[in-house]
Every structure is written in C-alpha cells, then in structure tokens.
C-alpha cells in the first residue's frame, strides 16, 4: 500500500482541535461541495511564501462551495514555532479563510500520507480524492510561479470536469516527525509521480 492516499480514495475522518478552541471532524464540513485538506505549518518558508496565493485561491472558490481545512502535524519539538500557541497567534494575525487544525499525535498526517508543507488533498462532493500534490510550482517565491495546480484542479472539479493534472509532487519542507531528525522521511514515503 502506498504511503500517501491514492486518487479515488475516500477522505479519512479525523477529530482535531482548531485554533478557535473547538474540535472538528470530517462531518463538520459535510456541506462543502469540494473539500481541500492541506498540511501546513507556521515556520516553513514554502508555506509562508505561498500562503497569500492559497488565500486568494480559497476566496476565489468559496462562492462555488469549496472549503479549505489546514492541518499542522509538525512536532513543536523540532520547530517551536509550530506549537499550537503559535498556530493561534498566526491565525489571529493573518485571519486566513480556513479552519486551522492541530494534529498533535501526527496520526492524521500518517493516515493521509502527508509528505511536505504544504501538501494539498482535494476531495469531491462524495469525498473522493481527485487531486493530490502541490499548490503552485514555486511556493517559496510566488512571483516566479508559472503554474497554480491547485487553482486548475478546483476549476476543473467545480465545473464537473475530470482534473487535468490530478497528481503532482508537493514542494516544501518535509513534515517534522516527533523524535526524528528534521529531514527524516518515513521509509515508504516517496514521490507521487
């Protein structure tokens, strides 16, 4: 079995605490026509570099019934900036248009097979995975990006078309696993294409 969820897979459930202090599960987003779940964090330069483009994409597709859910699975023992307290501060400062969840045990990251920050998973109305991978092709410096694969995928799925490029490799820092070196990746983690 692949480390990362394969296309067509159903979205795994979760129960995680958000920066607003409430707990959320997959069912809390049942009204979304399309659900974007992405693994992110507070410190990564690829996240920081592309957050505003992700915001623009989220806001562009909100009227189409698309919801975004961000999950931070990074160990704060690797980067203290990735702690829950810093998540709360970041949301208060940035006011992102998504729910920001804390995967303290890293179980959700393992279930989805999150590889990097950011790593996007797009699920259709039946919660089947229709896109997995990067947001843009140059997340560290979006002034130099030439492709917004997330935007393209959402344009396709909201129009009822097959996603033109359903799989890309996420670009970013690897997930910071508890008790492991900052650059460690699970043995079965691999490129998606």
Backbone angles phi, psi at 104, to 5 degrees: -60, -40
The DSSP annotation for 158-181 comes to HTTPPPSS-B----SEEP--TTS-
The whole-angstrom separation of Cα 78 and Cα 110 is 17
* Burial tier of 179 (Cβ tally within 10 Å: 0-12, 13-18, 19+): exposed
Lowest pLDDT segment from 2-11, 140-149, 184-193: 184-193
pLDDT single digits (tens) 23-47: 999 999 999 999 999 999 999 999 9
Give yes or no for residue 59 having a pLDDT over 90. Answer: yes
Architecture of domain 9-174: 3-Layer(aba) Sandwich (3.40)
* Residue 182's pLDDT band (cuts 50, 70, 90): confident
Strands (E), 23-158: 23-25, 34-40, 66-72, 99-102, 116-117, 119-123, 129-133
- Pick the more confident residue, 185 or 105: 105
pLDDT at residue 87 is higher than 80 = yes
The pLDDT, as a whole number, for residue 75 is 95
Average pLDDT over residues 159-174: 96
Average pLDDT over residues 178-187: 88
The 10s digit of each residue's pLDDT in 116-140 is: 999 999 999 999 999 999 999 999 9
- Give the Å distances, CA to CA, from 5 to 44, 114, 168: 23, 9, 13
Domain locations in the chain?
9-174
DSSP string covering 122-169: EE-TT-BEEEEE-SBS-TT-GGG---BHHHHHHHHHHTTPPPSS-B--
Paired tokens of 6? 């394969």
Q: What is the pLDDT, as a whole number, of residue 85?
A: 97
CA–CA distance, 107 with 105 (Å, rounded to integer):
5
């Amino acid at each position: 079995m692949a480390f990362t969820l394969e296309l067509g897979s159903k979205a795994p459930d979760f129960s995680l605490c958000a920066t607003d202090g409430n707990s959320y599960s997959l069912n809390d987003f049942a009204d979304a026509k399309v659900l974007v779940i992405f693994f992110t964090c507070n410190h990564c330069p690829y996240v920081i570099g592309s957050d505003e483009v992700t915001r623009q994409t989220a806001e562009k597709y909100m009227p189409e019934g698309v919801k975004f859910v961000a999950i931070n699975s990074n160990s704060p023992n690797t980067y203290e900036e990735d702690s829950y307290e810093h998540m709360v501060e970041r949301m208060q400062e940035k006011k992102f248009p998504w729910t920001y969840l804390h995967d303290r045990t890293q179980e959700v990251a393992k279930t989805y097979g999150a590889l990097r920050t950011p790593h996007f998973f797009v699920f259709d109305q039946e919660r089947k995975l229709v896109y997995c991978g990067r947001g843009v092709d140059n997340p560290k410096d979006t002034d130099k990006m030439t492709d917004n694969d997330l935007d393209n995928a959402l344009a396709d799925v909201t129009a009822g078309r097959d996603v033109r490029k359903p799989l890309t490799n996420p670009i970013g820092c690897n997930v910071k696993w508890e008790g492991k070196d900052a650059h460690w990746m699970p043995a079965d983690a691999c490129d998606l294409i």
